[in-house]
Amino acid sequence: MSDYYDNTAERLPQIFYRDLELQLKQHPEGLSEYTLLKKLKALGYFGFLSNRPAKPDALYMAHFLLFHALYRLQKNNYYEKKGIIDIGPFNIRLRDYQSGEAALTVSKDNLAAYYLDMANLDNTSRADVEALLDAFWREYARFDNREAALSELGLVDPVDELTIKETYRRLAMHHHPDRGGESKRLQAINAAYAHLCKSRF
């Protein structure tokens, strides 16, 4: 998937990392991936997303490049003891540095290894992207109402947004494949939380 750029420097100029970190510092509560991409696009990045609606392969390109930069910043902040970057599908935030927690955050992370290797972007075909999206939307479609999505997280109404978010984070961490969980279960948890986030609007 090298249709948009030919090398890493063009894809992610050094100033991009500064602007990305600035966005995280300005939003200590964290941002969703969508919001972060939108803010960075407003600064002039991800010009290949200009077509509306954006093509799936362009969206995946933006997603991969953002997470590549996030994981690079995460490692850099760890070594310089500047802070901890929590990287999740629905919330990305920069927190104060704590040595033990920082070591756990950056160690044995298969996702980091995947996103830090640009070859994984270049070797992902449009068919691969479509298969990933199909898998997510199949899970998402299982939740036809709020009650079903809450049930997937082990919750029932009445429940507030903070409880939903905290429960999601706990379950996502527990069921993450890097911690011995199953990707299918994690995918269902992500889809349920996505449904609940969308239902707020």
Alpha helices in the chain (DSSP H): 8-11, 14-26, 33-42, 56-79, 99-106, 110-116, 119-122, 126-141, 146-152, 161-174, 183-198
- 86 DSSP β-pair partners: 93
Extents of the domains making up the chain: 8-122, 139-198
CATH superfamily of 139-198: DnaJ domain (1.10.287.110)
Decide if 5 contacts 11 (C-beta within 8 A): yes
pLDDT, tens only, 32-71: 888 999 999 999 999 888 767 778 888 899 999 999 999 9
Share of the chain above pLDDT 90, in %: 28
According to DSSP, residue 195 is labeled H
To the question of pTM greater than 0.85 for the whole model, the response is no
Q: How far apart are CA 136 and CA 114, in angstroms?
A: 19
